[in-house]
Structure 1
Amino acid sequence: MNPAATARHEWQLQVRDGRPVLAQPGAVELDIAAVGLSADLVDALHEWAEVCGSLSADGAAQRGEAVSRRGRRLAARMAAETGAEIVYRDPVRGHPIRLGGGARTAEPVPWGSGLLVSGIIAALVAVTLVVMTLGLAEVSPVLSVLVNLAVAAGLAPSVWIGRRTPVWRWVAFGTGAGICAAWCALLLGLLG
């Protein structure tokens, strides 16, 4: 369950029994591992929680300040990864600090160059598929259909993974558009 997927609830990052948890006031408590954060952030949160547990035993002031700063940075990373508002409850001072809450903000989307890349990739994929399919259709129409489907099925996982990667999404969109354009051209070729 992703905190960003829920309605605008307030999530608090806390340490309970030596482990980091996300808690909603008076209701739900989630283990950090179940939230869908990156593995290195989950590991860092667990290390931080262990240090917080040992802090209450020795109570060194300088170490307490370092734990507070580290916790604020980890909560900020969590807010950035989830896009949700995280309330960091400082284990040393006990007061809450609100972090994040907006949608993820990244650099602006390069629409012009991105669409140009998508168009070039779409044209290359469409021409390649049409030429390959027409060449194989002379040998065996069934073979050409099977190979065309195999190529599309082989590209599908890469396109699906690449659709959210900032630079590669344009290549993924172009590949998907090229496959669709090739199929439309081949279907129109059968009709005419």
Structure 2
Amino acid sequence: MHLGAGGQIVFGERRPDDPALPEDLEAALREWAAVAEAVEVNGGPSERSLVRRRGRQLAGRLADLIGRPVQFHDPVTGQVERVWGPATGPLSRPAPERAAPTPWATGLAISVFFAVLTTLADIVLCHAFADAFGVLWAPANLLVALGLAPSLWLFRRAPFWRWPALGVAGGLVVAWVCLGLAPP
């Protein structure tokens, strides 16, 4: 069993006396082929591992149905292996990927830049708002901070965006301290 051109599954070992494939297995094989073709082009390591495991599982179901081992051609790595029967039990988990080292120097420089930019922008905005509307600068500034909070919280784990988010959060805190010490 392997993935052929156009996402078709090729059964190289079919014999005339083999039973017909059940509809659910055929549908699962077609779905796996479509996903495998997409992952082959754009997939990351975790998606490729999942496609490999699901393909082995389906090859096991096919081997159990026809009563003999099936050769499974992994579309991701190109390896060929014999699958003897259904993969019983839970699918094994792939080894966790090793994370890239954290770029502290670059990241903190980006954070400082965004902190300074945010602090200056917030103070200028509050001064302009205080000139136009008086004491309403404080609730307006609070609304700005509360409006940014969900986005900053979501960006905290994104590899690059965590640095600007940290800088913006820090800049808002510094701006609030400055505005508390010397209100507009």
**TM-score relative to the length of structure 1:** 0.54
**Unpaired runs of at least 5, structure 1:** 1-17, 19-38, 71-89
- The 3 A distance-change label for structure 1 pair 48 and 146 is farther
Correspondence list, 1:76-91, <5 A? 91=86
Question: What is the distance in 2 between the residues matched to 1:49 and 1:156?
Answer: 44
Secondary structure of the residue that 2:182 maps to in structure 1?
A: helix
Residues 1:56 and 2:64 are matched in the alignment: yes
Question: What is the distance in 1 between the residues matched to 2:69 and 2:49?
Answer: 25
**TM-score relative to the length of structure 2:** 0.56
Question: What is the distance in 2 between the residues matched to 1:142 and 1:180?
Answer: 19
Question: What is the distance in 2 between the residues matched to 1:56 and 1:114?
Answer: 53
Bigger CA radius of gyration: 2
**Alpha-carbon RMSD:** 3.9
Residues 1:162 and 2:155 are matched in the alignment: yes
Secondary structure of the residue that 1:62 maps to in structure 2?
A: strand
- Give, as a single letter, the amino acid of the residue that structure 2 aligns with 1:52: G
1:45-103 superposed Cα distances (whole Å, 9 cap, x missing partner): 6666444333311233313x759x89xxxxxxxxxxxxxxxxxxx95699x988537xx
2:123 to 119, 130, 148: 130
Correspondence list, 1:26-37, <5 A? none
2:139 alignment partner in structure 1: 146
- The 3 A distance-change label for structure 1 pair 189 and 48 is farther
Secondary structure of the residue that 1:166 maps to in structure 2?
A: coil
- The 3 A distance-change label for structure 1 pair 128 and 66 is closer
Following TM superposition, by how much is the alpha carbon of 1:175 offset from its aligned partner in structure 2, in angstroms?
A: 0.7
Correspondence list, 1:10-49, <5 A? 44=51, 49=57
